[in-house]
């Protein structure tokens, strides 16, 4: 075991293995609270959707399934590049690690750019909750579900709830993507100095865990926000 | 190598295999969403989402190869999430049965304006009609 002054082993740890286990434990506890953090919004979605399922289904079909689907693919791919990046860090392959980190950053930016276009379309169509919110139920659905004028007014209010939930959930998720980009850029510096190897790679590994968690949230957001309710058109 | 017993290095084939499965499941979930199976649409979509999530957690996040402590945290956090979902939904589904008078507990989806603070006027003097 190295007792070098600039050793990556902090003095209060017995061994690298103990240091890695401690770092990993801390990260998992952080992710557990992140799950509860997002869980509050998922609970909100669960309650409002169970109370207004037709309204949510109709509002949800306004979302762009193509952009949502592409973003799912982009995020899954970034999870793959990150998983490969962690492996490169474990095996001390400096250039591979830099490449995978850059690929992850690029894909994350791609995700946010697509998200920007989605949000911009919502501002254009006035489906952003607030003073200027407007929601028009497609005529074929008015006919199909025999919606009277009173029900349509009610539906517009409930659609506003759907879009509030949509913006809160995707917004918080987008913020996590943004933070992820920042951490990945920060990791490029130690990575380019060749800091990571089999003994010491916790920063990359823990960022990988964070990044996969962000992917996990999207894996649930995509069906819940974009897909559930598509069948009303069937 | 016993010093690195906690480090698991997966072969690339595992990562690419999981990635491929995730892509296929994404296409499947988007495709079946357009067919009407009644209440089963939700079940299929959530089933696929759980499958995808398990693949990410087990292989990308290495939980399959992690120690018991990490597995315990994963399971415990899901239990806590279940408590949050479960108890909240029990409150909402039982609310009307417990207090049938909508004046006492307004149905959460009928009113969007905040309730007037003047109440029934039991105590406040100037909050008259």
What is the band of B106 on the pLDDT scale with cuts at 50, 70, 90? low
Residue B29 located in a structural domain:
yes
pLDDT confidence bin for A5, thresholds 50/70/90: very low
Lowest mean pLDDT among A14-18, A45-49, A108-112, B94-98: B94-98
Structural domain for A146, as ranges: 37-233
Residue A122 in domain: yes
Q: Establish how many alpha carbons lie within 13 A of residue B48's alpha carbon, considering only the half-sphere containing its beta carbon.
A: 25
**CB within 8 A of A98, min separation 6: which ones?**
A188, A191, A192
Total count of domains within chain A: 1
A83 at the B interface (CB within 8 A)? yes
> Is the CB of residue A212 less than 8 Å away from at least one CB of chain B?
yes
Residue A156 in domain: yes
pLDDT > 80? residue A175: yes
Q: What is the 3-state secondary structure (H, E, C) of chain B?
A: CHHHCCCCCCCHHHHHHHHHHHHHHHHHHHHHCCCCCCCHHHHHHHHHHHHHHHHHHHHHCCHHHCCHHHHHHHHHHHHHHHHHHHHHHHHHHHHHHHCCCCCCCCCCCCCCCCCCCCCCCCCCCCCCC
Q: Are residues B73 and B100 in the same domain?
A: yes
As a whole-number percent, the residues of chain A with pLDDT over 90 amount to: 89
Please, what is the average pLDDT of chain A? 94
pLDDT tens string A9-18: 998 999 999 9
Whole-number pLDDT of residue A229: 83
What is the end-to-end Cα distance of chain A in Å, rounded?
Answer: 65
* A79 belongs to a structural domain: yes
Report yes or no: A79 at the B interface, CB cutoff 8 Å. Answer: yes
Q: Which residue has the higher pLDDT, A1 or A126?
A: A126
Within 13 Å of residue A87, how many CA atoms lie on the same side as its CB?
20
Cβ atoms of A89 and A196 within 8 Å: the answer is yes
- The answer to whether position B6 is within a domain reads no
Are residue B34 and residue B74 in the same domain, yes or no? no
Q: Residue A8 falls within a domain, yes or no?
A: no
Q: What is the pLDDT of residue B127?
A: 43
- Residue B92: which of A32, A47, A65 has the nearest Cβ? A47
User: How does DSSP classify residue A225?
Assistant: I
B1-15, B59-73, B84-98 — which one is most confidently predicted on average?
Answer: B59-73
Return d(Cα A172, Cα A38) in angstroms, integer. Answer: 8
- Report residue B95's pLDDT band, with 50, 70 and 90 as the boundaries: confident
C-alpha distance across the termini of chain B, in Å: 81
The verdict on residue A172 lying in a domain is: yes
Would you say the ipTM is above 0.90? yes
* CATH number of the domain that residue A125 is part of: 1.20.120.80
Report residue B26 as tokens.
């994404």
> How many C-beta neighbours within 10 Å does residue A128 have?
18
Residue A30 lies in a domain: no
Whether B103 and B75 share a structural domain: yes
Residues A80, B89: C-beta atoms closer than 8 Å:
no
Whether residue B71 sits in one domain with residue B52: no
Compute the Cα dihedral for A77, A82, A88, A91 and give only its sign: negative
Rg over alpha carbons for chain A, rounded to the nearest Å, is 22
CA distance A55 to A49: 8
Do B46 and B85 share a domain, yes or no? no
Contact B60 A17 (CB under 8 A): no
Based on the fold, state whether residues B80 and B43 are members of the same structural domain. no
Question: If you average pLDDT over residues B27-48, what whole number do you get?
Answer: 93
Question: What pLDDT score was predicted for residue B118?
Answer: 47
| Tally of domains within chain B | 2
Q: How confident is the model at residue A1 (pLDDT cuts 50, 70, 90)?
A: very low
Residues 8-67 of chain B whose Cβ lies under 8 A from any Cβ of chain A: 9-10, 12, 15-16, 18-19, 22-23, 26, 29-30, 33-37, 41-42, 45-46, 48-49, 52-53, 56-57, 59-61, 66-67
Residue A29 lies in a domain: no
More confident site: A62 or B4: A62
Q: Long-range contacts made by residues A139-148, C-beta under 8 angstroms, separation at least 24?
A: A141/A58, A141/A232, A141/A233, A144/A232, A145/A54
The token pair that represents B16 in the structure block: 């690419």
With CA atoms as reference, the chain A residue closest to B38 would be A231
Has residue A197 been placed in a domain? yes
Q: Is B49 a member of any domain?
A: yes
Task: Say whether both B90 and B50 belong to one domain.
Answer: no
pLDDT at B1 over 70: no
Query: In this complex, which of B33, B84, B112 lies closest to A227 when CB atoms are compared?
Result: B33
Q: What is the pLDDT of residue A78?
A: 98
CB contact under 8 A, B33 and A230: yes
Q: Which two tokens stand for residue A195?
A: 């800091």
Lowest mean pLDDT among A67-71, A85-89, A142-146: A142-146
Q: Can you tell me the mean pLDDT for A75-98?
A: 97
Q: Is the pLDDT of residue A35 over 80?
A: yes
Flag whether residue A16 sits within 8 Å of chain B, measured between CB atoms. Answer: yes
Claim to verify: residue B16 and residue B59 sit in the same structural domain:
yes
Structural domain of B35: 11-65
């Amino acid at each position: 075991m190295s007792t070098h002054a600039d050793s990556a082993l902090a003095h209060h740890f017995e061994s690298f293995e103990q240091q890695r286990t401690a770092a990993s434990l801390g990260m998992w506890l952080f992710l557990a609270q992140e799950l509860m953090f997002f869980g509050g919004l998922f609970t909100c979605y669960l309650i409002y959707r169970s109370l207004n399922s037709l309204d949510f289904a109709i509002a949800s079909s306004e979302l762009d399934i193509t952009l949502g689907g592409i973003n799912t693919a982009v995020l899954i791919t970034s999870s793959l590049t990150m998983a490969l990046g962690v492996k490169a860090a474990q095996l001390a392959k400096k250039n591979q690690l830099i490449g995978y980190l850059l690929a992850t950053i690029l894909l994350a930016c791609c995700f946010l750019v697509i998200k920007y276009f989605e949000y911009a379309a919502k501002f254009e169509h006035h489906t952003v909750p607030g003073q200027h919110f407007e929601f028009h139920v497609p005529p074929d659905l008015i006919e199909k579900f025999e919606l009277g004028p009173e029900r349509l007014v009610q539906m517009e209010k409930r659609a506003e709830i759907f879009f509030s939930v949509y913006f809160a959930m995707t917004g918080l998720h987008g913020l996590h993507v943004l933070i992820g980009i920042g951490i990945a850029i920060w990791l490029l510096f130690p990575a380019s100095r060749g800091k990571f190897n089999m003994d010491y790679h916790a920063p990359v590994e823990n960022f990988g865990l964070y990044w996969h968690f962000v992917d996990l949230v999207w894996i649930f957001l995509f069906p819940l926000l974009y897909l559930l309710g598509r069948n009303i058109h069937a | 190598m016993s010093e690195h017993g906690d480090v698991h290095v997966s072969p690339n084939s595992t990562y690419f295999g999981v990635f491929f499965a995730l892509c296929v499941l994404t296409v499947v979930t988007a495709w079946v969403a357009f067919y009407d199976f009644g209440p089963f649409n939700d079940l299929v979509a959530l089933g696929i989402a759980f499958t995808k999530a398990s693949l990410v957690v087990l292989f990308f996040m290495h939980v399959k190869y992690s120690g018991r402590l990490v597995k315990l945290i994963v399971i415990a956090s899901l239990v806590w999430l279940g408590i949050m979902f479960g108890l909240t939904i029990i409150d909402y589904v039982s609310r009307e049965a417990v207090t049938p008078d909508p004046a006492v507990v307004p149905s959460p989806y009928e009113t969007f304006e905040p309730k007037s603070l003047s109440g029934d006027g039991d105590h406040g003097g100037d909050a008259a009609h």
